[in-house]
Amino acid sequence: MSAPTLRGISSMATRQVLAELLAAYEHQTGERAVIEAVGGVDAAKRVQAGEAFDVVVLASDAIDKLIAAGAIDAASKTDWVRSGVAVAVRTGAALPDIGSEEAVRSAVLAARSISYSTGPSGVALAKLFERWGIADEVAGRMVQAPPGVPVGSLIARGDVELGFQQLSELLNVEGITIVGPLPPAIQITTIFSSGVGTASQQPEAAKALLDFLASPAAAEAKQRQGMDPA
């Protein structure tokens, strides 16, 4: 008799790479896991509220907060992927210059509307605009995508002109053109971590899955999905 299916939750940023890796893991081991992808803020709230998950995959700082709250086993925390931010516009639109920090600042000031996410990259972007001294100037043009809604979908619909989100979340959206990653001087990198829920009835099986996600065998899938091993 096979073991029960592992149940997990993740933010949207890692949805595609997890789908690929979970299929590979099942093929390799026969063990099945289903990880629900939702907005990261909502995922953390559900875990903190006591919903039982074997595996939780979120930004590293969110995992740390859930460990502090007693919802995730501290010893199980595993950093497994790094994700950077890219810039996108609607297909057919002129591509802005984003080759330098100053070029990106100019592109933001020139855009009629700018979108960003509710996740850690969006928080970091807002801080960048504050550091540039343009936060007040662009505040009326900022459109935050609702939790779980890709910035790319707002760009594709024509709701916003310029979008910033993790490359992994922009890669598979139709109707947009990815201009490229933010330049190194201002690149926003999020480390995603995983952990075993303290309510898990299968902690050993859950930890085995997390070890696979962080293993060298998972590296190619991460790079295909616009990420790097942590």
Rounded to the nearest 5°, which phi and psi values hold at 20? -65, -45
Measured between alpha carbons, how far is 173 from 157 in angstroms, rounded to an integer?
11
Q: What is the pLDDT of residues 36-85, one digit of tens each?
A: 999 888 999 999 999 999 999 999 999 999 999 999 999 999 999 999 99
Rounded to the nearest 5°, which phi and psi values hold at 174? -80, 150
pLDDT value, residue 183: 97
The one-letter amino acid at 49: A
Tokens 């540039």 identify what position? 132
**Could you say which residues of the chain have pLDDT below 50?**
1
This prediction's pTM: 0.88
pLDDT value, residue 119: 80
Instruction: Return the SS3 of 81.
Output: strand
pLDDT value, residue 176: 98
Alpha helix (H) residue ranges in 72-186: 101-110, 120-132, 135-138, 151-157, 167-170
Structure-block tokens of residue 23 = 């299929």
Cβ neighbours of residue 3 under 8 Å, at least 6 residues apart? 31, 202, 205
